[in-house]
Structure 1
Amino acid sequence: MTHRQRRFAAGRTALTFLAVLGTLAGAALVGAAPAGAVQGETEIAPGVVYEEFDIPAAKGVTHAHVLSVDLRDPRVRLELLYPGAVAARAPVSGMADAAGAVAGVNGDFFNITETQHPGVEATGASVGPAVAQGRALKGAVPNGQRFGPALPPGTSTEDVIGVGTDRRARLDELALDGSIRTPEGELPLGGLNQYALPVGSIGAFTAEWGAASRVRATCGTDTDRGAQCSTDTYEVTVRDGRVVSTADTPGNGPIAPETTVLVGREAGAQHLRKLFAGARVTVRHRLVAAATRTPYRFALGGHPVLRSGQPLPGLDGTTSAVRTAVGIADGGRRLLLLASDGAPEYRSGLTIAEVAAIMRELGALDAFNLDGGGSTTLAARAPRESTVAVRNHPSAGVERPVPNGIGVFSSP
């Protein structure tokens, strides 16, 4: 039994989410550990420690894989992993290796399917805001357009976990602030590189979006993801500050650098129809943080489960699943990246309430839930290896391509 397993067994009464935990204390590991994984702690790089251990949970023992990341070490940093475009997906291990990361976990929930909109392709784009190397990549879709389980009360698609230029991690909200200056006056900007736009709004798509169709952005409503696609749409392409083309329906294909494609639906489409070729148009956008004025180096979406050491009210304590989560400890100077194992013997997983309690037991004061199920992946290098290996068993048997993740970097 590892130190962490002993601590969970001895301190299980601190995990107050279910009395049944007492009956599972000291449960033996069921089945073999993932290939290359070793029970206990391993320093995989300066400031980065990998650990795995059993957790007694409501529906049986689950197996946790945890990375402890020390941001007090100047050699360590976190960055957004993504495949080079917002509307694209790739396996965590591939993104980590391509970026030179020593480890990584999957990130935000995303537009994974479009069964309710025949003929419309899923974009693969994530739900919440995203910031990469200080650049705002995208804004948050309306709450009703979110993929994933129901949000806890008081949270929204604008919630993020991020690391600022001060090298401190924090929970926050990032709201889109933007405008479109036209000869007809100034218009509000309703979205940035999003797979869903608010009803009646105009969204901006840049080269960061990728080549995916922009039709999905005009489907559903602010409260009903499955509502039909809008029949009142318009698209305007702006290059070097002037309108260069227009279209009645959203298009697809790569967007050239220094080019912005504006997509409008309903009232937004009616405003865009007033623009003509050659008209001067200026698009401005930024993501505004609610909790700090410190710029974010990296941020991505999900939802909080723990704030200031207290679980959020109304967390689901009945639905168990394979989970990915991030905990913030030591005043934002240490992060805990957790992925539960998806092997058949552990697949019952954890409830969201259990995730909050476990993160608190591990020392986190704040914690954030990321996409789980078949997306849950934790990849890490072995000491002195040059590539990462997937440490957990993905529940589908293979890695699921995802739109983004958290990359852990450690310089020699």
Structure 2
Amino acid sequence: MTRRNGRFRAVLTVVAACGALAGTVLVGAAPASGATNGVRIAAGVRYTEMDIPAASGVAHAHVLTVDLRDPKVRVDLLYPGAVASRAPVSQLAAARGAVAGVNGDFFNITEEQHPGVVATGASVGPAIASGRTLKAAVPNGQRFGPALPPGTSTQDVLGVGVDRRARLDGLALDGYVRSYEGKWPLGGLNQYALPVGSIGAFTSDWGSVSRVRATCGTDTDRAAPCSTDTYEVTVRDGRVVSRSDAPGSGPIAAGTTVLVGREAGAQQLRKLSERLPVRVGHRLVAETSGIPYRFAVGGYPVLNAGLPLPGLDNRTAAVRTAVGVADGGRRLLLLALDGAPEYRTGLTIAEVASTMRQLGSDDAFSLDGGGSTTMVAEQPGTSAVSVVNHPSGGAERPVPNGIGVFSAP
């Protein structure tokens, strides 16, 4: 691929030996401290292209460097206005006025194992947008995407705290249902899959899609049958207003929470009678930092303190999206591989970790890849974003969320 529209291009060589990734060597014009010599998109935001000769062939990468030290710059979650909904990254970015962005978390893309059940399109992990908690994580065995590296979970996030520093963390759900009948823990918040025997809360952030999928599969087997023991209770203004033996669908009004139970959770919800006062509370708790987050998106870590996580796959190459954290959380590196036919072999996860390290990242996080991998950015002389890579499916895939980059004039 040649230089397009005057964009900067570098070469990043990934060296493999004995069937495993040995290291990386950066050559060409881009410095080892990061891809910072590219085209200026906006204040604090730069764009670079580079070739990456890897074990399966040459990959082509698009990199956004985001300087969070610049007070004009921020990142936030892009999403279509509902958890159970999807839209192309370019549409999500344009609707919010972002100057650039990439796709985000893995998601519930299909339901071939459950005939008649609608795929929700909801993401796997936790999500926070503009300080607002949207959802929590599904059980590990219910996730879509490649196998998780050892020691990681669906609760892992990349986030930016109220301190404007980016970091990798985990976000766990802390929630409850309280009534005269007792106090029970919440097992989910706006999730497409609930733990076996639990109660999940659905709010107006969920959207209109059926909630039946939340009662299908088990904590270890996504394809297991849907539960036959379910119950749903609608709570409005602190009181039970309706009950049902099966999860429903349709929009949820503001101030209303729909509780869905399966197995033991269903048995508990059956104790809640009409007009009974009920209180529902929920929050996401940071596992390591203790810092409140303004933005968070799910995925899984691949690099920690400059070292690749143990057990990263070094055999399966694919088109990937990843994000790196550098300079103590003050700089983000967003990477999207090109899905054009000549580059479609892509990188292994081990090669992604090494590439992000060579670009200057201390920590790195893998996002959804394959046909989802998309990067958008404003073009020189315009105020509109357009796709800068070639999606491997030939066109943008609608996705549930993404990372938006914003820069004030």
- Residue 83 in structure 1 maps to residue 88 in structure 2: no
The CA distance in 2 between the partners of 1:25 and 1:43, in whole Å, is 21
**Paired AA for residue 81 in structure 1:** L
- Residue 5 in structure 1 maps to residue 2 in structure 2: no
The CA distance in 2 between the partners of 1:348 and 1:55, in whole Å, is 11
When residues 247 and 106 of structure 1 are mapped into structure 2, their CA distance, relative to the original with a 3 A threshold, is: same
Give the one of 164, 169, 172 matched to 1:167.
164
Q: Name 1:394's counterpart in structure 2.
A: 391
The CA distance in 1 between the partners of 2:339 and 2:155, in whole Å, is 28
Q: Name 1:303's counterpart in structure 2.
A: 300
How much has 1:17 moved relative to structure 2? 5.0
**Paired AA for residue 353 in structure 1:** A
Q: Name 1:411's counterpart in structure 2.
A: 408
Q: 1:105 touches 1:407 (CA, 8 Å); kept in 2?
A: yes
| Structure 1: gaps of 5 or more residues | 27-39
Q: Write out per-residue CA displacement over residues 273-315 of structure 1, whole angstroms, 9 at most, x where no aligned residue.
A: 1111100000000000011222100001000000000000000
**Paired AA for residue 47 in structure 1:** G
* Sequence identity percentage: 73
The CA distance in 1 between the partners of 2:172 and 2:21, in whole Å, is 36
**Paired AA for residue 72 in structure 2:** R
The CA distance in 2 between the partners of 1:175 and 1:18, in whole Å, is 33
Q: 1:21 touches 1:58 (CA, 8 Å); kept in 2?
A: no
Give the one of 195, 202, 205 matched to 2:202.
205
Richer in helix (by share): 1
Runs (4+) of structure 1 moved beyond 2 Å?
Answer: 1-6, 11-14, 16-22
| Counterpart mapping for 1:95-174 below 5 A | 95-174=92-171
For the residue of structure 1 that corresponds to 2:46, the secondary structure is strand
Q: Name 1:281's counterpart in structure 2.
A: 278
- Residue 268 in structure 1 maps to residue 280 in structure 2: no
How much has 1:106 moved relative to structure 2? 0.2
The CA distance in 2 between the partners of 1:60 and 1:161, in whole Å, is 29
How much has 1:385 moved relative to structure 2? 1.2
When residues 12 and 5 of structure 1 are mapped into structure 2, their CA distance, relative to the original with a 3 A threshold, is: farther
Size of the aligned set, in residue pairs, is 395
How much has 1:382 moved relative to structure 2? 1.2
For the residue of structure 2 that corresponds to 1:342, the secondary structure is coil
How much has 1:258 moved relative to structure 2? 0.3
| Counterpart mapping for 1:171-320 below 5 A | 171-320=168-317
Q: 1:45 touches 1:383 (CA, 8 Å); kept in 2?
A: no
Give the one of 334, 339, 347 matched to 1:337.
334
**Paired AA for residue 369 in structure 2:** G
| Structure 2: gaps of 5 or more residues | 29-36
**Paired AA for residue 298 in structure 1:** F
- Residue 46 in structure 1 maps to residue 43 in structure 2: yes
| Counterpart mapping for 1:304-383 below 5 A | 304-383=301-380
The CA distance in 2 between the partners of 1:355 and 1:212, in whole Å, is 35
Q: Name 2:53's counterpart in structure 1.
A: 56
The CA distance in 1 between the partners of 2:249 and 2:179, in whole Å, is 24
How much has 1:136 moved relative to structure 2? 0.8
Q: Write out per-residue CA displacement over residues 166-207 of structure 1, whole angstroms, 9 at most, x where no aligned residue.
A: 000000000000010011110111100000000000000000
Q: 2:21 touches 2:350 (CA, 8 Å); kept in 1?
A: no
The CA distance in 2 between the partners of 1:19 and 1:334, in whole Å, is 26
* TM-score between the two structures when normalised by the length of structure 2: 0.94
| Counterpart mapping for 1:28-43 below 5 A | 41-43=38-40
Q: 1:17 touches 1:357 (CA, 8 Å); kept in 2?
A: no
